[in-house]
Structure 1
């Protein structure tokens, strides 16, 4: 009987800890009913990059390529706020910033049921 009570306390205590830390990821438009909203978010972000990144051109009419690391927040209102775009090619950095600014407004992530800002840091090779 003592073992059952002890196990019950651990289970109930564990549930309280997990509920206190309950988090949800931001929900990209079109992912509302997805079984795995995080995977859907990543897929939609990849599609957004493919559809919205415009390669800059140099003075020789050649595409400028490069690697960037971007950091952005999805704030409590579901809007994207670009924190930084870092890479060796200024033209690529600017094109990446413009692409990020086109990310649609979404349902924000939550922490304990309240809207919560989330920071994402992602490397891209363009």
Structure 2
């Protein structure tokens, strides 16, 4: 006669196979759960790009102390009085020809040589051989650093001088104004214009900020001063 207690103490081979399948299934489920956890913990990296030449104007969240009034640096032409009229110089002597040298004697052509009257037209370019720059940014050994320093100062001046219109700030209205201007052959800002408008009040605020840029060293092309065109987006941001 078979004792039932003995059967419980000693499981049959079929019972052992079932227990083995259960243990293997538990290990597979645990492996899937661990793999899913590792997949969900992937770290993500963020990349933020920006324009090389862009000014952002952000109004303060809460006014603390009233900001000191901004002094606009207006670019005005220098006015030189006419020199006093003196006695008329004596006329140049008639040119004489030296038969031995074969040259005209009696005329002084100055430093320009024969035949160069000095008349030339000022070019307008997007990129000059030597870009306009501030004297404190001058770098003979590295023109790229000189240009980056100058453009960085331009951006900081615009950001410091641009005033966010209060009525638009209260209405949470912002936008980007695209400006274009020339640095002329004398280093002054001229021909300011709005390429793309965001709002009439924002356009005016951006144009007014250009008055804070002082005179620069003019750009040159082949040793001659040229006008250089700049395009700058001015971003008015509400945070």
TM-score by length of 1: 0.73
Higher relative contact order (CA 8 A, sep 6+): 1
The aligned counterpart of 1:88 is: 198
Which of 1 and 2 has greater Rg?
A: 2
Whether the aligned pair in 2 keeps the contact of 1:56 and 1:64 (CA below 8 Å) is no
Residues in 2 aligned to 1:111 and 1:38: alpha-carbon distance in whole angstroms? 15
2:165 maps to 1:56? yes
By percentage of residues, which structure has more helix?
Answer: 1
Contact 2:175/2:198 (<8 A) preserved: yes
Whole-angstrom CA distance in 2 between matches of 1:29 and 1:53: 24
Structure 2: segments with no counterpart, 5+ residues? 1-127
Q: What SS does the aligned partner of 1:38 have?
A: helix
Q: How far apart are residue 62 of structure 1 and its match?
A: 5.1
1:37, distance to aligned residue in structure 2 (A): 0.8
SS of 1:117's partner is: strand
* Structure-to-structure mapping, 1:1-126, within 5 angstroms: 23-33=129-139, 35=142, 36-58=145-167, 61=170, 64-85=173-194, 86-126=196-236
Distance in 2 (alpha carbons) for counterparts of 1:68 and 1:116: 26
* Farther-moved stretch of structure 1 (60-69 vs 106-115): 60-69
Using the TM superposition, give the Cα deviation of residue 33 of structure 1 relative to its aligned residue in structure 2, in angstroms: 3.8
Cα 1:63–1:114 shift into 2, 3 Å: farther
